[in-house]
Structure 1
C-alpha cells in the first residue's frame, strides 16, 4: 500500500527511501512512525523520528521529509491525523473556548511515548491495512479524541491549536533568505509573509532588485553547486534538496547558468 488518505487521516507505506514532495504543512499534523524512520528538515535544522516516535507539526510550517525503510527490510509506515482549522473552530465554539493569543512557541512538538496518545495510535493500527473500514463517523470520533488528549497532555496546546490569526506582514528579506530552498508556489510564500501575491512581488523586487522566480532559481542553483562541491550527494538527489521539482529541469538550468553539467562537480 502506498500513501492513502481516508477523511483527514493519512496512511503512509513506502518500501524504498523516499523524499517527500509536499513541503508545506497547511494543517496541524499529529503523526506516529510505525516502522522505519523519518528525517525531517525544517528551517531550524533536521532531526530523526525513529519507530514509535510521535509528534505534532504546527500548521503553516515549511519542511521536507525523507522516509527510510527499517533495516530489517520492513517498509516505512506512518500514520498522520490532520486537524483542520475549520474543525478546530467548530470544536472551540462547541466547547466555549476563549480566544487565544498569537502562538509564538515551537512548530514541532515531540510527544512523550508514555502519554495516552500512544494508546490512541495503537487503537488506529488495525485500520492501517484496511483503511476502507475507517468511516467518516470513526474519523470524527478519533479526531475529537486526539484533540482532547492533546489538551490533557499540555495546557500549551490551547494556544498551539486554537490560534486562528492569519500570518502577519514580516521581514521579507529575512524570510526568503531562510526559506528559499522550499519548493512551494509564490502565492504561499506571499501568504506566509503576510502579503497578497501582488504586494509580495512588488516588495520582493524592491528588496532584491530581481523577480522572485529568477532569484529563487539562482539561489537554488548556487546552493546545489555548493552541495556538490562539499558533500557526496549525487546530482540526481541534490535537486530535491534545493527545491527543484524534477531532475531534468534542474540539469538544464544548472548547465545554462554555470556552463557545465552538474555531474562534473560530483565526479571531481
Structure 2
C-alpha cells in the first residue's frame, strides 16, 4: 500500500509481505482497489469507522479517501500477506468505452472500505493470480494490466451495483467543510489535499476555512490535534509515543514542543500534573 499521500504510483497488482514487524501509517487512496487478506490482520481507520480485515477477507477501497492503516503480523509470528489490484482511471475509461458502460453521475460521499462477501468467482480469480506473484516487474506490465481488467469484470459480475462507483470519473464535489475537517483532522496530509477532497481550489478552501473557523487551516489543525491528544492522554491514559502519530503529528519532538506551548506542561507529565 501507499504509505503517504505523495508516494509514487503503485503497481496495478501488488503483493504485500512483511515478516519481522508490524507496520502502521496513513495513505491517500488515489484509485479504486480490490484486495484480499492472505495472512495477518489489516486495520483500516477512515476517521469515523475502523475495519478489521482478517485472513480470507475480500474488500473494495474507494478512491479519493484518507485511511490510516495498521498491518499486524499473525499471532504465530509468521508473515503478513495481502494482495491488492488497483484500477487506474485511464484503464476504467477504456474498459467502459469498450464494453459500453456509460459514465456514472457523481456518487455521494460514502465509506472508504466496502466489505465483499466471499464468492466462487473471487476465489477463481485469486487462484489465477498465484502464478503471477513474482511478475510485478516492468517487463510484465501488459500481462498484469490484463489481469487488472479481468478483476473489474469479475467485480461487475458479482457486484453489479459497483458499476456506478467504478465508472464515476468526476472529481470530488464541494462538500460540508466543517464535517469533513472534524472527521479527517488526524490525517497528516497537505492542505492542498484537504482542499481537493472537499471539492475546492486551494485558494477557495483557505477562504472558506477562515470564514468558518476564524483561523487558518494550519493553525486550526495544530489546535484540534492537540485537543484530541490532551483527551487521549488525560482520559484514555495513552502515552505520548502512542498519541502523536494517531492525532496527525509527524514526530514526537514537534508534538511535545507544541503540547507544552499550548498547555504549559509536557505531555509526559500531564498525568502527574493533575
Q: Same fold (TM over 0.5)?
A: yes
Q: CA deviation at 1:127?
A: 4.2
Show the counterpart of 2:67.
63
- Please, which moves more after superposition, 74-83 or 187-196? 74-83
Aligned to 1:123, what secondary structure does the other structure show?
helix
Aligned to 1:13, what secondary structure does the other structure show?
strand
Show the counterpart of 2:11.
7
1:163 to 168, 192, 208: 168
Is 2:195 the partner of 1:190? Answer: yes
Separation in 2 of the partners of 1:123 and 1:44?
A: 35
The correspondence of residues 87-98 of structure 1 with structure 2, limited to 5 A, is 87-98=91-102
Q: CA deviation at 1:76?
A: 1.4
Report if aligned partners of 1:235, 1:266 keep a CA contact under 8 Å in 2: no
Separation in 1 of the partners of 2:144 and 2:104?
A: 26
Aligned to 1:119, what secondary structure does the other structure show?
helix
2:241 to 232, 236, 244: 236
Alpha-carbon distance change, 189 to 39 in structure 1, aligned in 2, over 3 angstroms: same
Structure 1-normalised TM-score? 0.91
Q: CA deviation at 1:232?
A: 4.2
2:57 to 53, 59, 68: 53
Is 2:251 the partner of 1:246? Answer: yes
1:71-127 deviations in whole A, cap 9, x for unaligned?
011121111111111111111112221221222354321112234112322332454
1:145 to 133, 141, 150: 150
Separation in 2 of the partners of 1:128 and 1:152?
A: 24
1:177-223 deviations in whole A, cap 9, x for unaligned?
22111121111110111110011001111111100000001100110
Show the counterpart of 1:262.
267
- Please, which moves more after superposition, 9-18 or 59-68? 9-18
The correspondence of residues 194-209 of structure 1 with structure 2, limited to 5 A, is 194-209=199-214
1:42 to 46, 64, 68: 46
Any unmatched runs of 5+ in structure 2? Answer: none
- Please, which moves more after superposition, 167-176 or 28-37? 167-176
Show the counterpart of 1:121.
126
Count of residues in correspondence between the two structures: 265
Alpha-carbon distance change, 208 to 166 in structure 1, aligned in 2, over 3 angstroms: same
Alpha-carbon distance change, 174 to 180 in structure 1, aligned in 2, over 3 angstroms: same
Q: CA deviation at 1:168?
A: 1.4
Show the counterpart of 1:75.
79
Report if aligned partners of 2:155, 2:162 keep a CA contact under 8 Å in 1: yes
2:103 to 99, 102, 107: 99
Is 2:34 the partner of 1:30? Answer: yes
Any unmatched runs of 5+ in structure 1? Answer: none
Cα RMSD (Å) of the superposition? 2.2
- Please, which moves more after superposition, 250-259 or 184-193? 250-259
Report if aligned partners of 1:234, 1:266 keep a CA contact under 8 Å in 2: no
1:121-175 deviations in whole A, cap 9, x for unaligned?
2332454466449810221111011000000011111101001122111221222
Separation in 1 of the partners of 2:59 and 2:188?
A: 23
Report if aligned partners of 2:40, 2:80 keep a CA contact under 8 Å in 1: yes
Aligned to 1:110, what secondary structure does the other structure show?
strand
Aligned to 1:78, what secondary structure does the other structure show?
strand
